[in-house]
A and B are shown apart, each in its own frame.
Chain A
Amino acid sequence: MNKSGLSDWVLFFCFAAAVLTMPLWLAPFGANYPDLMQKFAIFGVFAIGFNILFGLTGYLSFGHAAFLGAGSYAAIWSYKALTMNVLPAIIFAVIVAGIFALLIGFVSLRRSGIYFSILTLAFAQMSYNLAYSVLTPITNGETGLQLTLSDPRVLDAMAGVAVTSSLPNPNIFGIKTSGLPGFYFCAVVLIIGFFIALRITRSPFGMMLKAIKSNQTRMAYTGFNTRPYLLWAFVISGMYAGLAGGLMAVTDPLAGAERMQWTASGEVVLMTILGGAGTLVGPVIGAALIKYFENIFSAFNKFELQQVFSFLPEGIQDVVVSVVSMFVGKGWHLTLGLIFMIVVIFLPGGIMEGVRRIARVFGLGKKKITEPASVANSQQGQVNG
């Protein structure tokens, strides 16, 4: 086993351990409840997939939420029509999102740069409007697609699953996938997704994608047709998004059109850039950070702030509470915006760049397992050797 291969394995096992032990180490942050950890894992999958396109090829898609939404709808329809088992739902979600990505990618990839971004944005917005008002028999519009007691569930009926007077739960061979088991399911999927992304990044295919990012024209001159590579990257990343959408339906059987909105597409771009585009772990960290802000910071209210600052004298407490309350509660977007600005200005490579810089200060630069650093190291090694 060569050195970079081994460091990949170390990276992979560290990642897996960190994901699986989330319920323990997230406790001090007040984030160790199942729903939020599920969100970390699901949006981690979404961001990892997005990074295969954006991080490797440099093609910035502003429409990935369309695939997320398509995956969710596909999964719910699998529940409604076939069975409450989550495996068919997820497979169905990935396939539908993949086909969807193939269609959109085929058209959008005729252009590059800003034109590509605008095309994907336009397609996503079209999908959103279709889901929102045109295709309401399939999507149930703004209200969102939900399970009902009268769904056929053909496979379940054939298997003789008893129909009860309450709605059935999504399950994996009888184990409910809500709550903590749901988190572990998502975590395992995230780890598998991470492994596949790692292999893709290290493969010759991944090298092609990186070459496209560095200079597509030169690629073309050397005789490569870049279009198929790009299309595959687009489809794979769309399938990741569909997988994330399917997982959302696994933990919560409901799909709404707002999952396709441009803000959702923008969110995954923010996650990737915040964490570090082109790195393997960065997008997952970015996703977790944004979801943490959305769920924890937005929940602070004046009442809680007053308790936190109750040690201060009366007058000062009021001032501090009123200033701080601008940044929490409904003001959480403001905090996130500030952090995003700080990261982009001072750490253009995202949080992972910050991690690398800190590691370098402590003389750990060589051992650092982040992706570009290790690539740089191994290249250096080859030159020196």
Chain B
Amino acid sequence: MSNKKTPLSTWTRRDVLKASAASTAIAGAPMFFSRHAYGADFLNAPTGDTVTLGFNVPQSGPYADEGADELRAFELAVEHLNGEGDGGMMNTLQPSALKGNGILGKKVAYVTGDTQTKSDAARASAKRMIEKDGVVMVSGGSSSGVAIAVQGLCQEAGVIFMAGLTHSNDTTGKDRKANGFRHFFNGYMSGAALGPVLEKAYGTDRRAYHLTADYTWGWTQEASVQASTEAIGWSTEQKVLTPVGAGDFSQYITPILNSEADTLILNHYGKDMINSLTQAVQFGLRDKQVNGKDFQIIVPLYSRLMAQGAGDNVKGIYGSTNWHWSLEDEGSKAFVKSFGAKFGNPPSQAAHTCYVQTLLYADAAERAGTFEPCQLGKALEGHKFDGMGNGPTEYRAEDHQCFKDVLVVKGKDNPSSQFDLLEIVEITPRAQVEYAHDHEMFAGGDLGSCNNGA
């Protein structure tokens, strides 16, 4: 019975060899054809009448609220660049090369992706944008860990990375990259701006207890705030690292009740901050008296979205922010109007920085006259501009970090609407938050040389 021939058993060794050789040849073919398929002088050079941008934001996980708002801002920015809508901050940007007919005459299209607030997923998503969708620029963020990972990828691949919300010192510090640019402020600037305000409000003799998100952003913000509070005479009682997206922080808050600390500094963001702050208030920290002083909570990086989530708990709590919708300059007013008309609520700081980054990218492309990452990067380096809601701003050439004023804010005691939750305590001038590009908290970084992927 084993001698009975089925059609398959007529395959001889020779047939099998032939078939495998043929299939290898077929499989290898695309490798030879596509290797030099990009005839242009840089990766993903747009050839048609559209140019594609990639917006990579967290749509799930602890920073999903910020991600959703970032996506709205990107959508609005693309609309404005293509000459639709009221133009928003395109009308207030000074100097501006934007024409309202797309970028360099090409209509702007975009693709989106979910970073899941995980480096792997974010890089996979960014790679899809670069390899499949042919984007010339990737933007987005909300977790500095993810932003740094994606920035590294864009550097290797050879496209521009316009960082969205990322507040770690490392993004433009030890992990800075030639292809990466950040408009958002950072931990050091928060600390430098908060120090004097805290001194005025709470005096010079306090013991701080840090709860810190356990990744690059938390670490660097903790170090920055510790340095600036110790500079005004405070002492640091303890520093505790908590996992990102923990949900329940009660096990970290109970020990604070039994410590000597009289100030809690929450280096948390997004849903983590909402949860930890709410729990801290529920545990009665704010009603507590230590060493004859009222217990205080500080949230160094604040956002209106978080304030909304935490509700009444934010009243009277100090923090810093990159931008707030209640600012009265022309740029902010134009942006809030246009965002509000489209989406029915004012933009968050995350939305603001993403919108601004998209416009700045487009403006740099217009000024450079090309999408080529190295020339476009040159156009951004050292660029000074105004009218984007932060006053005069400069993209420093040494580390690709924007320098501008920082807002110190406080939770409002009597909010007039569900969005009116933060009041601006002080606009800290740029000079006070500026640092040398090789400052010890930013040292060890090297931009490297720009990569255009060709």
- Bound together, the chains give a CA A165 to CA B177 distance in angstroms of 11
Closest to B214 in A: A133
* Given known contacts A3-B9, A180-B31, A180-B35, A256 and B2 CB-to-CB distance under 8 angstroms: no
- Bound together, the chains give a CA A39 to CA B120 distance in angstroms of 11
B418 to chain A, nearest CB (A): 25
- Bound together, the chains give a CA A164 to CA B450 distance in angstroms of 12
Asked if A142 and B214 make an inter-chain contact with CB atoms under 8 angstroms apart, the answer reads yes
Closest to A253 in B: B156
Asked if A166 and B132 make an inter-chain contact with CB atoms under 8 angstroms apart, the answer reads no
Closest to B112 in A: A301
Asked if B6 and A330 make an inter-chain contact with CB atoms under 8 angstroms apart, the answer reads no
B242 to chain A, nearest CB (A): 9
Asked if A258 and B31 make an inter-chain contact with CB atoms under 8 angstroms apart, the answer reads no
User: Does more than half of chain A's interface fall in helix, strand or loop, or is it mixed?
Assistant: helix
- Enumerate chain B residues within 8 angstroms of A166, measured Cβ to Cβ: 155, 178, 448-449, 451
**Which one, A10-18, A55-63, A226-234, A314-322, is touching chain B?**
A10-18
- Is B40 part of the binding interface, using a Cβ–Cβ cutoff of 8 Å? no
Could you give, for residues 8-52 of chain B, a 1 whenever the CB lies within 8 Å of some chain A CB and a 0 otherwise? Answer: 110100001001100110111011001100000000000000000
Closest to B55 in A: A301
- Bound together, the chains give a CA A39 to CA B127 distance in angstroms of 11
* Given known contacts A166-B451, A179-B131, A256-B149, A385 and B19 CB-to-CB distance under 8 angstroms: no
Asked if A167 and B156 make an inter-chain contact with CB atoms under 8 angstroms apart, the answer reads yes
Residues 410-454 of B contacting A (Cβ, < 8 Å): 444, 446, 448-449, 451
Asked if B1 and A16 make an inter-chain contact with CB atoms under 8 angstroms apart, the answer reads no
- Enumerate chain A residues within 8 angstroms of B153, measured Cβ to Cβ: 252, 254
Give the contacting residue for B27; candidates A13, A17, A149, A299; CB below 8 A. A17
- Is B215 part of the binding interface, using a Cβ–Cβ cutoff of 8 Å? yes
Could you give, for residues 237-255 of chain A, a 1 whenever the CB lies within 8 Å of some chain B CB and a 0 otherwise? Answer: 0000000000000001010
- Is B389 part of the binding interface, using a Cβ–Cβ cutoff of 8 Å? no
Asked if A330 and B114 make an inter-chain contact with CB atoms under 8 angstroms apart, the answer reads yes
Could you give, for residues 356-385 of chain A, a 1 whenever the CB lies within 8 Å of some chain B CB and a 0 otherwise? Answer: 000000000011000000000000010011
Residues 24-51 of A contacting B (Cβ, < 8 Å): 24, 30, 33-36, 39
- Is A169 part of the binding interface, using a Cβ–Cβ cutoff of 8 Å? yes
* Given known contacts A13-B16, A330-B59, A24 and B26 CB-to-CB distance under 8 angstroms: yes
- Bound together, the chains give a CA A22 to CA B26 distance in angstroms of 10
Give the contacting residue for A132; candidates B111, B114, B216, B243; CB below 8 A. B243
- Is A336 part of the binding interface, using a Cβ–Cβ cutoff of 8 Å? no
- Is B113 part of the binding interface, using a Cβ–Cβ cutoff of 8 Å? yes
A271 to chain B, nearest CB (A): 16
Asked if A298 and B34 make an inter-chain contact with CB atoms under 8 angstroms apart, the answer reads no
- Bound together, the chains give a CA A254 to CA B175 distance in angstroms of 13
Closest to A304 in B: B111
- Bound together, the chains give a CA A295 to CA B27 distance in angstroms of 23
- Bound together, the chains give a CA A80 to CA B31 distance in angstroms of 29
* Given known contacts A35-B124, A167-B156, A329-B59, A299 and B244 CB-to-CB distance under 8 angstroms: no
Asked if B111 and A299 make an inter-chain contact with CB atoms under 8 angstroms apart, the answer reads yes
Asked if B446 and A17 make an inter-chain contact with CB atoms under 8 angstroms apart, the answer reads no
Could you give, for residues 130-158 of chain A, a 1 whenever the CB lies within 8 Å of some chain B CB and a 0 otherwise? Answer: 00110000000111101001100000000
Residues 209-241 of B contacting A (Cβ, < 8 Å): 214-216, 241
A130 to chain B, nearest CB (A): 13
Closest to B153 in A: A252
- Is B119 part of the binding interface, using a Cβ–Cβ cutoff of 8 Å? yes
A118 to chain B, nearest CB (A): 22
B23 to chain A, nearest CB (A): 4
Asked if B149 and A146 make an inter-chain contact with CB atoms under 8 angstroms apart, the answer reads yes
- Is A266 part of the binding interface, using a Cβ–Cβ cutoff of 8 Å? no
- Is B118 part of the binding interface, using a Cβ–Cβ cutoff of 8 Å? yes
- Bound together, the chains give a CA A6 to CA B7 distance in angstroms of 12
- Bound together, the chains give a CA A17 to CA B118 distance in angstroms of 34
A292 to chain B, nearest CB (A): 11
Asked if A17 and B31 make an inter-chain contact with CB atoms under 8 angstroms apart, the answer reads no
- Enumerate chain A residues within 8 angstroms of B34, measured Cβ to Cβ: 23, 180
- Bound together, the chains give a CA A180 to CA B30 distance in angstroms of 9
- Enumerate chain B residues within 8 angstroms of A24, measured Cβ to Cβ: 26-27, 30
Closest to A180 in B: B31
- Enumerate chain A residues within 8 angstroms of B114, measured Cβ to Cβ: 298-299, 329-330
Could you give, for residues 109-151 of chain B, a 1 whenever the CB lies within 8 Å of some chain A CB and a 0 otherwise? Answer: 0111110001111011101100110000000000011001100
Asked if B128 and A23 make an inter-chain contact with CB atoms under 8 angstroms apart, the answer reads no
- Is A7 part of the binding interface, using a Cβ–Cβ cutoff of 8 Å? yes
- Is A100 part of the binding interface, using a Cβ–Cβ cutoff of 8 Å? no
- Bound together, the chains give a CA A20 to CA B30 distance in angstroms of 11
- Enumerate chain A residues within 8 angstroms of B35, measured Cβ to Cβ: 180
- Bound together, the chains give a CA A184 to CA B131 distance in angstroms of 16
- Bound together, the chains give a CA A381 to CA B3 distance in angstroms of 12
Asked if B128 and A299 make an inter-chain contact with CB atoms under 8 angstroms apart, the answer reads yes
Give the contacting residue for B128; candidates A21, A258, A295, A366; CB below 8 A. A295
Asked if A149 and B446 make an inter-chain contact with CB atoms under 8 angstroms apart, the answer reads yes
- Is A309 part of the binding interface, using a Cβ–Cβ cutoff of 8 Å? no
Closest to A187 in B: B27
- Bound together, the chains give a CA A256 to CA B150 distance in angstroms of 13
- Bound together, the chains give a CA A28 to CA B400 distance in angstroms of 40
- Is B370 part of the binding interface, using a Cβ–Cβ cutoff of 8 Å? no
Asked if A165 and B131 make an inter-chain contact with CB atoms under 8 angstroms apart, the answer reads no
* Given known contacts A16-B20, A143-B215, A367 and B8 CB-to-CB distance under 8 angstroms: yes
Asked if B1 and A384 make an inter-chain contact with CB atoms under 8 angstroms apart, the answer reads yes
A10 to chain B, nearest CB (A): 6
- Enumerate chain B residues within 8 angstroms of A141, measured Cβ to Cβ: 214-215
Asked if A330 and B60 make an inter-chain contact with CB atoms under 8 angstroms apart, the answer reads yes
- Is B387 part of the binding interface, using a Cβ–Cβ cutoff of 8 Å? no
- Is A193 part of the binding interface, using a Cβ–Cβ cutoff of 8 Å? no
Closest to B31 in A: A180
- Is B152 part of the binding interface, using a Cβ–Cβ cutoff of 8 Å? yes
Asked if B149 and A20 make an inter-chain contact with CB atoms under 8 angstroms apart, the answer reads no
Give the contacting residue for A20; candidates B24, B110, B156; CB below 8 A. B24
Asked if B27 and A23 make an inter-chain contact with CB atoms under 8 angstroms apart, the answer reads yes
Asked if B20 and A142 make an inter-chain contact with CB atoms under 8 angstroms apart, the answer reads no
- Bound together, the chains give a CA A330 to CA B71 distance in angstroms of 13
Asked if B23 and A20 make an inter-chain contact with CB atoms under 8 angstroms apart, the answer reads yes
Asked if A35 and B448 make an inter-chain contact with CB atoms under 8 angstroms apart, the answer reads no
* Given known contacts A13-B19, A385-B1, A21 and B27 CB-to-CB distance under 8 angstroms: yes
- Bound together, the chains give a CA A149 to CA B113 distance in angstroms of 29
Asked if B119 and A254 make an inter-chain contact with CB atoms under 8 angstroms apart, the answer reads yes
- Is A9 part of the binding interface, using a Cβ–Cβ cutoff of 8 Å? yes
Asked if A3 and B118 make an inter-chain contact with CB atoms under 8 angstroms apart, the answer reads no
Closest to A298 in B: B114
Residues 170-223 of B contacting A (Cβ, < 8 Å): 170, 175, 178, 214-216
- Bound together, the chains give a CA A301 to CA B125 distance in angstroms of 14
- Bound together, the chains give a CA A330 to CA B114 distance in angstroms of 7
Give the contacting residue for A181; candidates B6, B9, B31; CB below 8 A. B31
Give the contacting residue for A13; candidates B20, B28, B145, B448; CB below 8 A. B20
- Enumerate chain B residues within 8 angstroms of A21, measured Cβ to Cβ: 23, 26-27
Give the contacting residue for B131; candidates A33, A144, A164, A298; CB below 8 A. A33
Asked if A23 and B120 make an inter-chain contact with CB atoms under 8 angstroms apart, the answer reads no
Given A24-B26, A294-B124, A303-B110, output 11 extra A-B contacts at Cβ < 8 Å. A20-B24, A23-B30, A24-B30, A36-B132, A132-B243, A166-B448, A180-B30, A252-B153, A299-B114, A329-B59, A384-B1
Q: Which 6 residue pairs of A and B lie closest in terms of their CB atoms, listed nearest first?
A: A20-B27, A142-B215, A17-B23, A35-B127, A33-B132, A33-B131
Please list 16 pairs of residues, one from A and one from B, whose beta carbons are closer than 8 Å in the complex, sorted by A's number: A22-B27, A24-B27, A35-B132, A132-B214, A133-B243, A142-B145, A143-B119, A143-B144, A146-B152, A167-B155, A256-B118, A295-B124, A298-B114, A303-B75, A329-B59, A381-B2
